[in-house]
Amino acid sequence: MESENRESEAPRPFPTNSKNSRVTDPTLKDPPMSTPSSSSSSSSSTSPGPSQKRQNNDHNLSPPRTNKKRTKKTPPPLPNLPHELIIEILSRLPAKSLIKFRCVSKSFKSLISNPQFIKTHLEKVKSVPRNDPDFSPEIVISSSEPLFRLKSCSLYSVYNNPVTDAVVLDYYLLKDTYRYDWVVGSCDGLLCLGIKQDFVVLWNPSTRVFNRLPDLGFAKKLGSYTVFGFGYDSHIDDYKVLAMFCFLTKSVYGGSRYVTRIKVCALKGECWRRLEDFGLGLPYDVSGKHVDGKLCWPVMPEGSIGSAWSIVAFDLAQEMFEEVVQPDYGAVGYERVLGVLQGWLCVMCNYQGVRADVWVLKEFGVRDSWTKLFSIPYLDDPLWFHYSVPLCIDVGGEVLLEYKSVLVIYNPKHGTFRYPVMNGASSCIEADVYIQSLVSPVVDGQV
């Protein structure tokens, strides 16, 4: 039994002076020697010997091996969203954000440049309230100080901040700083700019894409002038520019009279077509106002003198003129200005030095649809100045307009005025409002 117990005990390792070995008790005696057979059998089933343990211990103390080539962690794949959901999400973003997102991928660029997506986005932009800062329309100002420049800023900022920075619009051929350019009008985010009464440029300030239309081809004559109008023809889904060239010619009855030549240019055709001469009077030297598929002008009826004033409308689909009935303005002694307010045709009726009445036409062809919205009093002697047609009415009812070359905000409810400051645009010749969109002024739909 004693020999069996001795064989079953595991032999203790010998003490060693190795630095990696454990310190042993010096009082311990050497274990008894085993027989070769028992030693070999027990060592095969027990802990390793000194040399093997030293090797294992040295191995454990060595630094872990590292891979010199570190592999990049692959990001998890994006979830596969339905195409319709992607369109719905992107169509709710501002135009400036979508322009940046074109660089995300080829599929994003293709989607954002798609004509149907651009139309969907345009409808969403038109339905967003004007008090949303991300979708706020922009106001473009023709400023003459120090040089003639077109400048713009957010309409939301003008209403909500006492001071707003106006930025210069780097539009087509800005090198010629002394020529006279003016804003003909805006439609769906496109600005139409008249250049020296020779041609027009369609330009999207958001995408910075422009399109120079062909020259009119009208020969300049003494006393002649050209007026333009710009709008959208929903029947053919195209934008059109109308040009009216007015010049003096000799009358068969002696003396002279004005004749007005008419040309129209569709964006998809990019060529001017001659129409019948205008026969409803002499158009005033102002741009046409686009309202509901029509371009409207104030004209002086033929044969009249003085301040005679009527309104004509050019139907962009039918390409015909018709006269627009006017409201009963009441008192006499006023000066009228035509414009557009909140999508309605608007007449600003100025009573010199007293007040200005604001009228809007809510339905073409119905005289009773003319509505007087409010009156704006003059607080000082305006001399030869008068209020412009209001540019906008915000959700709180405050009216933005121009007076004496500066912007003014009038509150009809309280009868109060305030004067927003625009850094970089101290002198305002004229102003217009446009929305930010992806609509392209070129035929191939470049965004």
Tell me, what's the pLDDT at 422? Answer: 86
Q: How far apart are the first and last CA of the chain?
A: 99
Tell me, what's the pLDDT at 11? Answer: 44
- Give residues with Cβ within 8 angstroms of 122, minimum separation 6: 188, 189, 437, 438, 439
The length of the chain, given as a count of residues: 447
Tell me, what's the pLDDT at 31? Answer: 46
pLDDT in tens, the chain (447 residues): 444 444 444 444 434 444 444 434 444 444 444 444 444 444 444 445 545 544 444 445 555 555 555 666 776 765 688 889 999 999 999 999 999 998 888 988 999 999 999 999 999 999 998 788 999 999 998 876 656 678 899 999 999 999 999 888 876 554 454 466 789 999 999 999 998 888 899 999 999 899 999 999 888 887 899 999 999 999 999 999 999 999 988 876 767 888 999 999 999 988 999 999 999 999 999 999 999 999 999 999 877 766 678 999 999 999 999 999 998 888 777 789 999 999 999 999 988 888 999 999 999 989 899 999 999 999 887 777 889 999 999 989 999 999 988 899 999 999 999 999 888 777 787 889 999 999 999 987 656
**CA distances from residue 447 to 95, 136, 413 in whole angstroms, order as listed:** 10, 20, 43
Q: Which domains, ranges and CATH numbers included, belong to the chain?
A: 83-123 (no CATH), 128-434 (2.120.10.80)
Tell me, what's the pLDDT at 6? Answer: 42
Peptide bond into 13 cis (omega under 30): no
Residue at 314: amino acid letter: F
Tell me, what's the pLDDT at 310? Answer: 93
Q: Which residues of 162-193 are buried (b: 16+ CB within 10 A; e: fewer)?
A: eebebeebebeeeeeeeeebbbbbbbbbbbbb
